[in-house]
Amino acid sequence: MYLEYYARDLTSFAQLHPRDFRSQVTPTPTQRTTLIVAGCYVIAIGILWHIPYLNWIIYPFKLLTVGFHETSHAIAGLLTCARIESLELDPDEGGATRMSGGIPVITLPAGYLGSSFIGACLIACGFDINASKVACIVLAVFFLFTLWWARRNMLTWVLILGMAALIIAFWFIEGGIALRYLVLFIGVMSCLYVLWDVIDDTIARKVNSSDASAFAHICGCCPSQCWGLLWLIIAFCFFAAGVIVGLVAFKKSEKEQEEESLHFIPIPGAPHPNAAVAGLAGVPSLALCLVSFATSVIWAIFGL
């Protein structure tokens, strides 16, 4: 009898979790709109990528993804006790991170995997306004590290300061809704660029040297195409995980998100549910903008 009850409980448990997972990943109307927008981003990026002149529209975001790639190398180097000497971006959508020391088997794959992980996190945060604000604060810290390591590379400065200005501008549009879709776009762009770059540089072998070829040289057990394929699978899993996390974690409607955003770094002048603090509603975001701007100016004067 106990075995019968035990078997019945196991059957109920096995039936409950698939059903619960399906309910969690079933999109709400707001999430369905987000998925449609993300799908349109994928199509638009795929079209603009191959059309001359029009591809300049997404050119800054390509460079931003290269910045994610190089900074991921640098952070992995920092975590493995390397000394970061410089970080550079070039107009041909390339980049280089120079470091001494570190553990190459960690720092080499960190470029592709780190930038795809960043893209996945941004996609997940793109499902919610407050999460997008948190993502932008993290990006601001990420930008400051990038500027410090690339303080002598003018292209990096122009790109990062331009992106920071774009993020601040979108923060003020429609109470943060526009910011959410910008974060979603950057996330989709980063993941797609990594997938395309891994295929182009390692599997298709359109370049003679790549992170995968250097990694294969160190390991000596598999050709670079095998490592490229492995990184491609991991990057695709990150992409999918970003969407799934967004669906599971952020179920609130757009109206509920707007109301919650009034309590977390609201834009200056936005209506606040508590009249006693309405006049101070914009102070945190304004202070954040001023601190970021002042830091950039100080580094521009003393760092270059």
Please give the backbone phi and psi of residue 181, each rounded to the nearest 5 degrees, phi first: -75, -25
Domain extent listing, the chain: 27-50+59-83+108-249
Across the range 59-66, mean pLDDT stands at 92
Q: DSSP 3-state assignment of 88? A: strand
CB 144 within 8 A of CB 75: no
Residue 204 pLDDT > 80, yes or no? no
User: Could you give the CA distance from residue 230 to residue 235 in angstroms, rounded to a whole number?
Assistant: 9
Lowest mean pLDDT among 41-55, 175-189, 230-244, 259-273: 259-273
The overall average pLDDT reported for the chain is 81
**From CA 262, how far away is CA 50, in angstroms rounded?**
41
Alpha carbon dihedral 247, 36, 266, 116, in 10-degree steps, equals 70
- Which pLDDT tens digit goes with each residue over 151-170? 778 888 899 999 999 998 89
Percent of the chain beyond pLDDT 70?
79
Residues 72-118: pLDDT tens digits? Answer: 999 999 999 999 998 988 888 788 899 998 899 999 999 999 999 99
Q: What's the CA gap between 109 and 96, in Å, rounded?
A: 14
Question: What pLDDT score does 269 carry?
Answer: 52
Helices assigned H by DSSP within the chain: 2-25, 29-49, 59-79, 104-125, 129-149, 154-171, 177-198, 211-219, 224-249, 254-261, 283-302
The reported pLDDT for the residue numbered 277 is 40
Does 276 score more than 70 pLDDT?
A: no
* CA–CA gap between residue 299 and residue 149 (Å, rounded): 11
Task: Indicate the helix (H) or strand (E) that contains 26.
Answer: none
Q: What are phi and psi of 95, to 5 degrees?
A: -165, 170
pTM: 0.82
Task: Say whether pLDDT at 281 is over 90.
Answer: no
Q: Is the pLDDT of residue 12 over 50?
A: no
* β-bridge mates for residue 97, sequence order: 87
> Is residue 278 scored above 50 in pLDDT?
no
User: Tens of pLDDT along 229-271?
Assistant: 899 999 999 999 999 999 999 999 999 998 888 888 776 555 5
